[in-house]
Structure 1
Amino acid sequence: MASEVTYAEVKFKNESPAPVVKGPPETKKPEQHPQKYPLWLPWLISVLLLLVCIALVVVLLVLPFCHSSEQPSALQQHFSQWECDSAGPQGTDRGWTCCPKGWRRFQGSCYFLSTDKMNCAESAENCTGMGSHLVVITSRAEQEFLFKQQNQDVKRENLYIGLFEKGDQWQWVDKTPYSVTAAFWRKGEPSDGHDENCTVMHLPEGTLKNWNDVIPTTKHHRICEAAAVIV
């Protein structure tokens, strides 16, 4: 009789378990938040702030001395000290009307009465060199104002004004049309001689009609005029 073979499953208690291979610990990925603004936005804000600062500087320092004509700008280049009066009625905010220190203001103009004497051409050049011109008188009120200023600090007899004769025609230095009705000539003036082609205010006359034509080489005082600066 054939013998039977019996198979049995045998487990050993001291059998070591299969080794477990551990990988490197997983690193936690940072959470990505969606970008709320573009990278160029801070630069744009910085540029805008800079432009605002520049605008403030212009408004506070430059605009106060801007004027519609070029003359005040030229005047400002030659003077650093100014005297200002209120440009509007009491209690209103309309700025100030300014003239260089030592000049005299009437309405919208500043006037300089010289203490030294020069001939006609030198007087015109001196006024131009200060950013002004020899005075142009266009009204009785202006003539009266200047007449009253004559001897406040220095005794003066004759003052050059900006009226010249050119080819039988009297012309103002700033091209303002000359009007006989707004002229203040002495009796018998202007004379017929063509050699007397400059004009002075002859103060000893004692009246508003005190203009006198003179030869250009004579040395006299002068009146310079410039538009006042509004700030």
Structure 2
Amino acid sequence: MMNAQGRVSPGSAAPAEERGCTWLNIWVFLIFALAIKAAFVTLCLLFMLHPGFSSSSLLPFCHSSEQPSALQQHFSQWECDSAGPQGTDRGWTCCPKGWRRFQGSCYFLSPDTMSWDESAENCTGMGSQLVVITSRAEQDFLSEQIRQSKEPKPDNLYIGLFAEKGGQWQWVDKTPYHVTAAFWRKGEPSEGHDENCVIIHRDTELPNNWNDVRCLNYHRICEAAAVIV
């Protein structure tokens, strides 16, 4: 605004400049954010298109809008298989490198031995749990994986079934225990006074190879939900 002498009144032009600078800063920020997002999407696409991405992939982390699972937070190398219908944007099923995948789960067969409590804690520390077996197909898959294991070949592996009292079996994740869906060896469970943990025994005829044992040191099977991207 001009005064009577034709001069600009003090302060009349400054607010317009400030408003202009504010809007400019906002646009610069938005353009910068879009550029970062575009670079991230490009990186994910490069991983998907790279011939070797299935053996060591960061693909499970490309969907940054989702909270990473406990499993994702503990592993950086992944093996992914195309498992979704063509044309969908979520067509890859991923497990940590070295784990075995079956249907919607990932399984880890340990090379070392621990007590049952230590085994449960070790699985939890990797974002998983001691395996909970709910079907004949899963039981057959795990038994076959055990038989195919390379040295050191595990003879007995903990699963996530235990009893706080004799004969009162329960799964670690509170899945209901049904004797009709159990795979005990002949004559088992023996319900010994201190046999409150359960193992899979490798060389027993399938599918019934569970045995209740004292909670000593054995191998273990950890299970976690596969990452779908």
What displacement does 1:78 show?
2.2
CA contact (8 A) 1:119 1:220 kept: yes
Residue 163 of structure 2: aligned partner: 165
| Residues 50-89 of structure 1: pairs in structure 2 closer than 5 A | 50-53=32-35, 62=61, 64=63, 73-89=69-85
CA contact (8 A) 1:65 1:230 kept: no
Structure 1, unaligned runs of 5 or more: 1-28, 30-34
Q: Which of 81, 106, 109 does residue 105 from structure 2 map onto? A: 109
Alpha-carbon distance in 1 for matches of 2:119, 2:171: 14
Greater C-alpha Rg: 1
Alpha-carbon distance in 2 for matches of 1:190, 1:103: 29
Alpha-carbon distance in 2 for matches of 1:87, 1:211: 31
C-alpha distance 179-115 of structure 1, shift in aligned 2 (>3 A): same
Residue 31 of structure 2: aligned partner: 49
Residue 178 of structure 1: aligned partner: 177
Superposed CA deviations along residues 115-153 of structure 1, whole A, max 9, x for unmatched, are 122221221122122221111101111001101101321
Matched residue of 2:70: which SS? helix
Matched residue of 1:151: which SS? helix
RMSD: 2.9
* One-letter amino acid matched to 1:98: C
C-alpha distance 176-63 of structure 1, shift in aligned 2 (>3 A): farther
Residue 228 of structure 1: aligned partner: 226
Residue 11 of structure 1: aligned partner: none
Alpha-carbon distance in 1 for matches of 2:107, 2:179: 23
Residue 214 of structure 1: aligned partner: 213
What displacement does 1:195 show?
0.7
Give the alignment's TM-score, normalised by structure 1: 0.73
Alpha-carbon distance in 2 for matches of 1:166, 1:209: 23
C-alpha distance 90-208 of structure 1, shift in aligned 2 (>3 A): farther
| Residues 125-144 of structure 1: pairs in structure 2 closer than 5 A | 125-144=121-140
Alignment: residue pair count: 194
Superposed CA deviations along residues 77-127 of structure 1, whole A, max 9, x for unmatched, are 222111100121466553211111110000111001111222212211221
1:156 has 2:138 as partner: no
Identity of aligned residues (%): 66
Superposed CA deviations along residues 171-230 of structure 1, whole A, max 9, x for unmatched, are 11112121222111112211222411110011211211111110012x211111111111
Give the alignment's TM-score, normalised by structure 2: 0.73
| Larger RCO (CA within 8 A; separation ≥ 6) | 1
* One-letter amino acid matched to 1:221: H
Residue 12 of structure 1: aligned partner: none
Alpha-carbon distance in 1 for matches of 2:175, 2:76: 29
* One-letter amino acid matched to 2:225: A
Residue 20 of structure 1: aligned partner: none
Structure 2, unaligned runs of 5 or more: 1-6, 8-15, 45-58
